[in-house]
Amino acid sequence: MTTAWPSYLLLFLVFVLFCIGLDTVKVRWQIAQEFENQEYLKVSQNKLTEINIQLKTEHHHLNSPARIERHAKEALGMVEVVQNIYVTYEK
């Protein structure tokens, strides 16, 4: 019985090494997944930045003074006052 303990120790060490190897594979897989998620988030952020720029451009275009003035002239029939007209009332 005294000669069996080195073989049990060796078997135990192989088991520990196997567990460490499985853990290493799991950690590497998780790291690869995190890098993939990070790349996906970067692509999504770039798309959202482009959409944000387009929306800001559209907002500035829709609220520009020239567009509002053109709408007032065309749709509302307003005209620009070219000269001042003074009306004097007699007493």
User: pLDDT tens digit string along 20-73?
Assistant: 999 999 999 999 999 999 999 999 999 999 999 999 999 999 889 888 888 888
Q: Which domain holds residue 61?
A: 44-75
The answer to whether residue 65 is domain-embedded is yes
Cβ neighbours of 30 (radius 10 Å): 10
pLDDT of residue 81: 66
**Using CA atoms, how far apart are residues 40 and 32, in angstroms rounded to an integer?**
12
Cβ neighbours of 55 (radius 10 Å): 10
The answer to whether residue 71 is domain-embedded is yes
pLDDT band of 86, cuts 50, 70, 90: confident
Tokens matching residue 6: 């080195």
Q: How many distinct structural domains can be found in the chain?
A: 1
The answer to whether residue 24 is domain-embedded is no
pLDDT of residue 79: 72
Helix count and strand count (H, E) for the chain: 2, 0
The answer to whether residue 62 is domain-embedded is yes
Q: Is 51 left (phi over 0), alpha (psi -120 to 50) or beta?
A: alpha
